[in-house]
């Protein structure tokens, strides 16, 4: 049995299907004929992009990235955010709170993303984003995307 959950965006409700993980053919039976129990390897797919996860709550969190709704408003300025985590990171900038401590040095950061970028640039020199065309590698995905345009001309 296909499981699904309700998701509403732009006042339209949709049932989003979930599927078992790709490539798992160990059961050898036709799952369209008889219902089966939800399995641990069940995958939840985003209907708007190629995002896939094994956890329903992660898909629900991801779906907010496709929504234009920004219900969380900053009490210090007019900025609004899609999630409470984004709001909290922003409020921390107003308050000067830097909860993310580098384990290699004394630097602290407002967001985990800033900490990760710092560690990669200053300590590990890791460059996880690589160009498949020429091998260029960088710390930041945005820089890889800009680089790829040198190959595509777009």
Q: Clarify whether residues 60 and 88 are in a common domain.
A: no
> In terms of pTM, does the model score above 0.85?
no
Q: What pLDDT sits at residue 9?
A: 40
Q: Clarify whether residues 81 and 61 are in a common domain.
A: no
Q: Clarify whether residues 27 and 56 are in a common domain.
A: yes
- Between CA 112 and CA 21 the distance in angstroms is 30
For the cut 80, the answer to whether the pLDDT of residue 79 exceeds it is yes
Q: Clarify whether residues 9 and 46 are in a common domain.
A: yes
Residue 36 vs residue 76, higher pLDDT: 76
- Between CA 41 and CA 18 the distance in angstroms is 11
Q: Which ranges of 97-139 does DSSP label H, i.e. alpha helix?
A: 112-119
pLDDT band, residue 42 (cuts 50/70/90) = confident
Cβ neighbours of residue 109 under 8 Å, at least 6 residues apart? 98, 100, 102, 115, 118
Q: Clarify whether residues 81 and 147 are in a common domain.
A: yes
Residue environment code for 73-90, b if the CB has 16+ CB neighbours within 10 A, otherwise e: eeeeeeeebbeeebbebb
Q: Clarify whether residues 61 and 123 are in a common domain.
A: no
Q: What pLDDT sits at residue 33?
A: 43
For the cut 50, the answer to whether the pLDDT of residue 58 exceeds it is yes
The CATH number assigned to the domain holding 91 equals 3.30.160.60
For the cut 50, the answer to whether the pLDDT of residue 59 exceeds it is yes
Q: Clarify whether residues 123 and 49 are in a common domain.
A: no
Tell me the per-residue pLDDT of 88-125, one tens digit each, with 9 for 90 and over: 999 999 999 999 999 999 999 999 999 999 999 999 99
When divided into structural domains, the chain yields a total of 2
Q: Clarify whether residues 145 and 105 are in a common domain.
A: yes
Residue numbers of the domain that contains 120: 72-154
């Amino acid at each position: 049995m296909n499981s699904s959950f309700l998701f509403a965006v732009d006042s339209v409700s949709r049932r989003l299907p979930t599927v078992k993980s790709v490539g798992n053919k160990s059961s050898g039976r036709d799952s369209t004929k008889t219902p089966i129990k939800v399995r641990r390897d069940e995958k939840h797919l985003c209907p708007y992009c190629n995002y896939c996860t094994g956890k329903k709550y992660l898909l629900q969190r991801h779906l907010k990235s496709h929504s234009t709704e920004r219900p969380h408003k900053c009490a210090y300025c007019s900025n609004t955010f899609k999630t409470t985590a984004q709001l909290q990171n922003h409020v921390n900038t107003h308050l000067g709170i830097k909860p993310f401590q580098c384990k290699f040095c004394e630097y602290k950061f407002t967001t985990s993303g800033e900490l990760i970028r710092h560690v990669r640039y200053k300590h590990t020199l890791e460059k996880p984003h690589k160009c498949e065309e020429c091998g260029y590698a960088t710390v930041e995905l945005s820089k890889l995307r800009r680089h790829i345009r040198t190959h595509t001309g777009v």
